[in-house]
C-alpha cells in the first residue's frame, strides 16, 4: 500500500470527509433528501450550526451582521478538513462572496448558483423556472452576490402554502410530507402555466430535494435542486479512476 502522511493542517484530527454544511438554528424534521439529513448522502458530511442564524434573521430580515458568524463557522469547517462548504438555506446567497473570500475551499451557499449553468443549457428563448421558500425575501443583493441575472429566470414562492409554511418557516414541529409535495406541485404547475417559455426547473429550498423526482415525473422537465449542486461539486473533489475494457 502507499505511504500516507499527516495533513499539515494542525487542526485536522480526522479524515475522509469531503463536505461541510453550515446549518441554521431550526426545529424542522429534516427528511431523507433534505440537505440537513445526513442519510441523504453516500459520502460523509460534517454539520456546523451557525450561532444566531435563524429564519427570521436570515430570510425575513437579511441581517448583514450574520456574515461574521457564518464566516467563522465556515472557517471552522475548513480547519476540520472539509474540501467544500455548502449550507441548508439558499438565502445564505447573501454571504456567498464573503465566505468564498474567507476560505480556500469551494463554497456553494445557494442552489441558485446553478441558474447561469442551467440557463446555458437552454435555447435563448427559454428561461429557468425557480421555486423558492419565500419569493418576497429574494432580494437583489443576494443575486448580485452569486452572479445571477434575474432576467434569466422566473420565480414563484411557497408563501401562502399552509403545510410548507407551518413546518419550514414557522417550525411548528410537524412536517406533512405528502401535503408539502402537493403544494409544491401546485406552485410549479401555476408557474409553468403562466410562463410557457420555461425550459427547466430549479427547486431552491434545501427541503425541496425529497420532492424533485415526483416534480420531474409530473412535469417532464429537467429539475435541479440543492442536491444536484452538491453532488456536482462533490464529483469534482472525489474523482474515481475508470475501469473497463477496450
- Alpha-carbon gap, residue 172 to 105, rounded angstroms: 35
- Alpha-carbon gap, residue 35 to 210, rounded angstroms: 10
Residue 24: the pLDDT is 94
pLDDT digits (tens, 9 = 90+) for 147-173: 998 989 999 999 999 999 999 999 999
* Domains by residue range for the chain, with CATH: 19-110+231-237 (3.40.50.1860), 111-225 (3.40.50.12500)
Question: In the numeric block, which cell numbers belong to residue 204?
Answer: 431552491
Q: Which residue has the higher pLDDT, 9 or 195?
A: 195
Collapsed DSSP state (helix, strand, coil) of residue 240: coil
Q: Inform me whether the pLDDT recorded for 11 exceeds 90.
A: no
- Alpha-carbon gap, residue 173 to 49, rounded angstroms: 19
The angle that helices 212-219 and 177-194 make with each other, rounded to 10 degrees, is 40
Question: In the numeric block, which cell numbers belong to residue 237?
Answer: 473533489
Exposed e or buried b per residue across 139-158, where buried means at least 16 C-beta atoms within 10 angstroms of its C-beta? eeebbebbebeeebbbbbbb
Q: Inform me whether the pLDDT recorded for 6 exceeds 90.
A: no
**Strand residue runs (E) in the chain:** 19-23, 45-49, 84-87, 127-132, 153-157, 198-203, 223-225
DSSP conformation class of 81:
T
pLDDT digits (tens, 9 = 90+) for 48-69: 999 999 999 999 999 999 999 9
Q: Inform me whether the pLDDT recorded for 73 exceeds 80.
A: yes
Q: Inform me whether the pLDDT recorded for 14 exceeds 70.
A: no
- pTM for the model: 0.92
pLDDT digits (tens, 9 = 90+) for 214-226: 999 999 999 999 9
Neighbours of 208 (CB within 10 A): 29
Collapsed DSSP state (helix, strand, coil) of residue 152: helix
- Alpha-carbon gap, residue 5 to 113, rounded angstroms: 35
Residue 7: the pLDDT is 74
pLDDT digits (tens, 9 = 90+) for 79-91: 999 999 999 999 9
Amino acid at each position: 500500500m502507499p505511504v500516507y502522511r499527516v495533513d499539515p493542517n494542525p487542526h485536522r484530527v480526522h479524515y475522509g470527509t469531503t463536505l461541510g454544511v453550515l446549518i441554521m438554528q431550526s426545529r424542522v424534521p429534516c427528511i431523507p433528501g433534505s440537505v440537513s439529513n445526513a442519510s441523504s448522502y453516500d459520502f460523509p458530511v460534517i454539520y456546523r450550526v451557525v450561532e444566531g442564524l435563524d429564519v427570521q434573521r436570515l430570510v425575513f430580515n437579511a441581517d448583514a451582521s450574520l456574515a461574521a458568524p457564518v464566516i467563522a463557522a465556515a472557517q471552522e469547517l475548513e480547519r476540520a478538513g472539509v474540501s467544500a462548504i455548502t449550507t441548508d438555506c439558499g438565502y445564505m446567497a447573501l454571504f456567498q462572496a464573503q465566505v468564498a473570500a474567507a476560505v480556500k475551499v469551494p463554497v456553494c451557499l445557494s442552489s441558485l448558483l446553478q441558474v447561469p449553468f442551467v440557463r446555458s443549457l437552454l435555447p435563448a428563448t427559454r428561461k429557468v423556472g425557480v421555486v423558492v421558500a419565500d419569493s418576497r425575501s429574494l432580494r437583489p443583493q443576494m443575486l448580485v452576490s452569486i452572479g445571477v441575472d434575474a432576467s434569466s429566470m422566473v420565480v414563484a414562492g411557497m408563501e401562502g402554502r399552509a403545510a410548507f409554511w407551518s413546518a419550514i418557516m414557522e417550525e411548528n414541529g410537524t412536517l406533512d410530507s405528502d401535503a408539502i409535495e402537493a403544494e409544491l406541485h401546485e406552485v410549479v404547475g401555476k408557474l409553468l402555466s403562466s410562463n410557457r417559455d420555461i425550459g427547466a426547473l430549479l427547486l431552491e429550498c434545501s427541503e425541496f430535494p425529497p420532492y424533485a423526482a415526483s416534480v420531474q415525473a409530473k412535469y417532464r422537465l429537467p429539475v435541479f435542486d440543492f442536491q444536484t449542486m452538491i453532488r456536482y461539486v462533490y464529483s469534482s473533489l472525489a474523482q474515481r479512476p475508470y475501469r473497463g475494457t477496450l
